[in-house]
Structure 1
């Protein structure tokens, strides 16, 4: 970049952020999320930010006084899929060319095709996607539902019971079930033991809210509903249908609906929440239909742009 450019247009690249830099990025993310109504980075990026050993490329822009004005996270760990990108500009520093400067930095640093998430589906993100030569490839809906509305009764199939996840005992069986349930999913079905362990160590993890459907006769796991509670200072608490999966061999028996109802009841009755959200691919019409029948409605959209 030319030294004649404004400081906010000068992009700095590093493979490792200092603790102070991570704090700056998280503060920028909070400001952007508050302004846009959607957090700019997904859980995958936030986990990697908090893990200093996670491999990533970090691009930053700063104002003349050192204030962080923009940040881009590049995940280059999957060579076949290309580079995953998430990018945010501080609300107070938008419409000044910072986003396009970061985009140029992304193009210079990326290897292989690009996969860029735009959380909230804002027009500015669509315009940036055009500048990068990307196509709109995937839409992830956030659905929400009040927990004050009636929750359907949990009716499990015959011979199936619910119990809480047991860390250290259920890990391998759950990972195998997760892989079967999400065999066609581009991210969820590829979870490794390390991916599971890092989430079990998160402050929000609650084993009682990780419900397993177990076949009584064999002890085999048939499905699960992993719930999560989001708690952020200054914001109302909200529950999440974090991951819900059913063994393909158990499809068609109503287990998915029963697990959903059980998790919603847990969030309402045990955690005292009055609202819940979830994420679902727009293309997964069966899941969208199930959740809409259970009272969920569309709240926001998250768009994945990919190289043409």
Structure 2
């Protein structure tokens, strides 16, 4: 379905689509890439870029074209969270900024969401902060990107809880079990906790995916307490690493511990195992993302030598 949601005196045309053609996907990715080269990071997240291909339930694409019909702006709206307001991201090509296109795109996303919207400003650039205020949105969430050097990595030998061993992910065999543990570990996290088999398949199909950098922790015996009776071989934690080869960065991509297996040092051990893996690949720097209000996690990462590199900001409407 296609809707023209704005047409201002021939200056710009905004169209909302449920699905993009392969040609449009290429155009949008090129726009995102050219903007990222100027801004320092993509304005559309990895999940948003993966959602460009094919029809996705709850996802709408907003295209902004200039007077000459050139694609100069892109926005995406995702309405998958049953509780929170729809989430949006948008970007205007650097060569076409300062002409009101950003405000027009933001207003279009507000209209598509029914004036109920959360929107990311990756990198927290002043212009993005100003635009959020112009659109009547207030700061809601801060996501820190933290980094530490991997050269001469000097971390204590990882100590796993009794009965726990670590192995690497087996694509196709571990998918269902990992998705279940991921959902449990991130039940509080709307983006990560809602990953589906399709989302996992999308990531496995990316050129950066390496099963050798995806570590799973299994408990050989039974848990105590609320998880008593669980059979041997259950996944209790994981550390999925990612390599950004062009930037020379290794990422703590996703790190999770299953509820009931927390508090025994498993998270720290898995972090160390992943960092050693990234260091062994010769990468000079490690990075990760963590919510600024997750004081416990921030403290753990700071003790491991991470410092804040930049901050992504999420704004939302008050309604």
Normalised TM-score (structure 1)? 0.91
- Residue 176 in structure 1 maps to residue 190 in structure 2: no
- Secondary structure of the 1:10 match is strand
Question: Offset of 1:221 from its aligned partner?
Answer: 1.5
* Distance across 2 between alignment mates of 1:288 and 1:41: 24
- Secondary structure of the 2:256 match is strand
Structure 2 residue aligned with 1:190: 194
Which residue among 239, 242, 256 is the counterpart of 2:253? Answer: 242
Q: Residue by residue, what CA displacement relative to the aligned partner does 1:188-239 show, whole Å, maximum 9, x if unpaired? A: 12222332232223222111111011113322222110011123xxx43311
Structural mapping, 1:53-202, within 5 Å: 53-55=55-57, 56-78=59-81, 80-111=83-114, 113-152=116-155, 153-202=157-206
Q: Is the 8 A contact 1:151 1:261 kept in 2?
A: no
Q: Residue by residue, what CA displacement relative to the aligned partner does 1:48-98 show, whole Å, maximum 9, x if unpaired? A: 11x222243222222344432111111234454332210001111111111
* Distance across 2 between alignment mates of 1:220 and 1:17: 40
Structure 1 residue aligned with 2:226: none
Structure 1 residue aligned with 2:227: none
Q: Residue by residue, what CA displacement relative to the aligned partner does 1:109-161 show, whole Å, maximum 9, x if unpaired? A: 22362011110111111111112221111111111111104241222223221
* Distance across 2 between alignment mates of 1:207 and 1:162: 13
* Distance across 1 between alignment mates of 2:305 and 2:35: 29
Question: Offset of 1:2 from its aligned partner?
Answer: 4.9
* Distance across 2 between alignment mates of 1:272 and 1:97: 44
Question: CA RMSD, aligned part only?
Answer: 1.8
Question: Offset of 1:3 from its aligned partner?
Answer: 5.1
Which residue among 291, 295, 300 is the counterpart of 2:305? Answer: 295
* Distance across 1 between alignment mates of 2:243 and 2:19: 30
Change beyond 3 A, Cα 1:193–1:3? closer
- Residue 32 in structure 1 maps to residue 35 in structure 2: yes
Normalised TM-score (structure 2)? 0.88
Q: Is the 8 A contact 1:81 1:112 kept in 2?
A: no
Unaligned runs of 5+ in 2: 1-5, 222-231
